[in-house]
Chains A and B, each alone.
Chain A
Amino acid sequence: MPTTVITPPGRVSMPNLRELWQAREVLYQFGMRDVVLRYRQTAVGIIWVLLQPLVSAGIFSIVFGSVAQLSSDGVNYFVFSFVGMLAWNLFNNIITRSTNSIVSSQAMISKVYFPRMLVPMSGILSVLLDFAIALGLGFVLLLIYGINPGWPVLLLPIWVALLVLLAAGIGLAASAVMVKYRDVAYVVPWMLQTLLFASPVAYAVPKDLQTLYNLNPLTWFLELFRYSLVGLPAPEPWKIAAAVAVSVVVFVGGAFAFQQFEREFADVI
């Protein structure tokens, strides 16, 4: 029979991978709950998932493409900003969902033990489902506009995985800090909104500001997404290397930060 030893938290605690694996059923159940709840008692369910990026992309093409006449690197503006929205929504929704997750499950956290990390992580599942649906619509758009991305489309899963890691790392850290400081609930949405306009989601990187834009990791990811989906040229190799490095470092760092806070959640929340 397994023996569990409980001791006071040490200075540094590492995430317990074995325990996380054993509790994967909880992750699945949380994920299912989120998915089921989203589509239950909504009249058109899935339509909302499709409508949201479509409308945003439409507005972006009108405002940035037609009114402001910004560049879309020669790609149809609507498709260009739709792909941008795909990547952005994935990033944005994971962070938003996980940041609030711990505090909104406080009743559960103060009454039963399970690896707390599953709470912010479970939100990712339903965001991924939304992403998959919107991506399907994206492929339909590519067909309609006759854009053939070619073989780079096969690399898309890698970029998606990296972006998920990046967003999850930020979300984990934010959710843990929010247990102690509720400021996070105000700061994060504001930063995300700023970032949306500071990243080339709805427009191409302006030529004269390239150096500045290249400092923003989201620029790399947006270029990677567009490389794989609308056939724009691949970004420089250093951006690919940097995207991998930053995602992994942020995720590990976020998980680590989360773990440091985890054991006092029930006392502080």
Chain B
Amino acid sequence: MQQSPEPAIRVIGLGKTYRIGLSGDRPTTAVEAALRKMRNPVRKGSHTLFDALDDLTFDVPWGEAMGIIGRNGAGKSTLLKVLTRITAPSRGRIELNGRIGSLLEVGTGFHPELTGRENIYLNGSLLGMTRKEIQRRFDEIVDFAGVATFLDTPVKRYSSGMYVRLAFSVAAHLETEILAIDEVLAVGDAEFQAKSLAKMRDVAKDGRTVLFVSHQAQTVAALCTSAVFLDRGHLAYHGPVAGAFDLYRDSFEKFSLEQKDSSTRPGTGELRARSVEMGADHFEPAGEKTIHISLDANPEMVGKYFVSCHINDLNGSVLIQCDSRVVGGWYDPTRTQEVTLTVRTPWLKPGRYTVDLYVCKNGILDSWEGAVGFEVLPHNPYPELAGDEALTRGLVLGDFHYKNG
């Protein structure tokens, strides 16, 4: 592929501001809008401004696969939408030195009544391919998706796996110089995910440029050569992937401090957790982990509630979900409760973990992300020692043994 000396993408002072209505929503009917104007002819409508993106400046060189990471609401998806021209920026300038293809959702424009073949053409053209390009790559697309026998069946009769594979396959065969992807790899079975990842890596090797938004550290680490970290619309970091994830982890800790104040937490607030404490500061990998939860009372609440603890690793992946319902844990809201959760398996790898606590009845009463953190000591729980590579692959450690014969 011919390469120009210019970077693939140049972003200068980019900003995107949304107007958020203060008094309820913005008018959705003309009459409502007119009425508001009549009541307040002078005031220019009551709204606040929200900067989803503010003053972003960066270049993306050719052949780079750049990850975009950040907490929820940091502006990752907005950035991708602005770059792919779905929505217009409010300030600044973007230069794209090539066609940009976007994959923000699998199967955009797929119509259930159309056959696989028809959808390939419809979706392909929507993503910016010409008919010739689609024809040339048609067999590859079908092969990759593995739906050859169902080409003339309406996609509404496809299994969800087939549907997703076909949709991804069309997008993966885009020949645009720049490709923007939003977490769509998290679809399909493991085998297809691996295939998709490999495909994406090939794209970057071709000298094309890939932008990739994801929460999953492993995917970003596997796919990307650099990363940006967005913090509330600001560019907090642009550089190697590892550095971006250090910041990502720090931001979790900052966030958990803010969550200590129960009034700022999401949830209906009918009943809140008072405190969440670990039984100890640190644990052995194979040891029991205990979590003490104190819950407030609400005498006016009717019916019992339950709690659910999520144990997350530092990259935000939920490792264990401990829902009290599955072990018969229902609690009476009329008096305060002291609950102790004990987790015996799986063994946890050495490192830091965070615990999210959810108090629920019909909806979520209290959502306390990052309620508490704990450390697992760097000890080997297994009887024998081996190199690091013997332990690094899994997310958790298992209690297993091998037997001869």
B-binding residues in A (CB < 8 A): 1-9, 25-26, 28-30, 32-33, 36-37, 40-41, 107-114, 180-183, 263-264, 266-267
Contact = CB atoms under 8 A, between A and B. Distances in A.
Given A3-B97, A36-B118, A108 B89 contact: no
B30 A183 contact: yes
B90 A40 contact: no
Contact of A111 (B4, B83, B86): B86
Interface stretch (B41-49, B109-117, B320-328, B366-374): B109-117
Given A40-B113, A113-B84, A5 B93 contact: yes
Interface centre among A37, A111, A180, A181 (most CB of B within 10 A): A111
Nearest to B121: A29
Contacts of A3: 6, 95-97
A8 B81 contact: no
A45 to B, nearest CB: 14
Interface of B: 2, 4, 6, 18, 27-31, 33, 81-100, 102, 104-105, 108-109, 111, 113-114, 118, 121-122, 125-131, 177
Contacts of A40: 113
A5 B128 contact: no
Given A33-B114, A114-B128, A6 B121 contact: no
Given A3-B95, A29-B121, A112-B86, A107 B108 contact: yes
Nearest to B130: A25
Given A29-B122, A182-B29, A267-B18, A6 B4 contact: no
16 contacts: A4-B85, A5-B93, A5-B96, A6-B95, A8-B91, A25-B131, A29-B122, A29-B125, A33-B111, A33-B114, A41-B113, A114-B126, A180-B28, A181-B27, A182-B29, A266-B87
A67 to B, nearest CB: 39
Contact of A4 (B82, B100, B121): B100
B88 A29 contact: no
B88 A112 contact: no
Contact of A8 (B86, B89, B96, B118): B89
B88 A264 contact: yes
Contacts of A182: 28-29
A60 B88 CA distance: 50
Nearest to B88: A263
B377 to A, nearest CB: 46
Given A6-B96, A8-B91, A183-B30, A111 B105 contact: yes
A222 to B, nearest CB: 31
B98 A183 contact: no
Contacts of B129: 25
Given A9-B88, A26-B125, A264-B88, 12 more contacts: A2-B97, A4-B85, A6-B89, A8-B92, A32-B118, A33-B114, A36-B114, A37-B114, A110-B86, A112-B108, A114-B128, A263-B87
A267 B88 CA distance: 9
Nearest to B90: A8
A261 to B, nearest CB: 11
A3 B85 CA distance: 14
B122 A33 contact: yes
Contact of B102 (A6, A7, A29, A112): A112
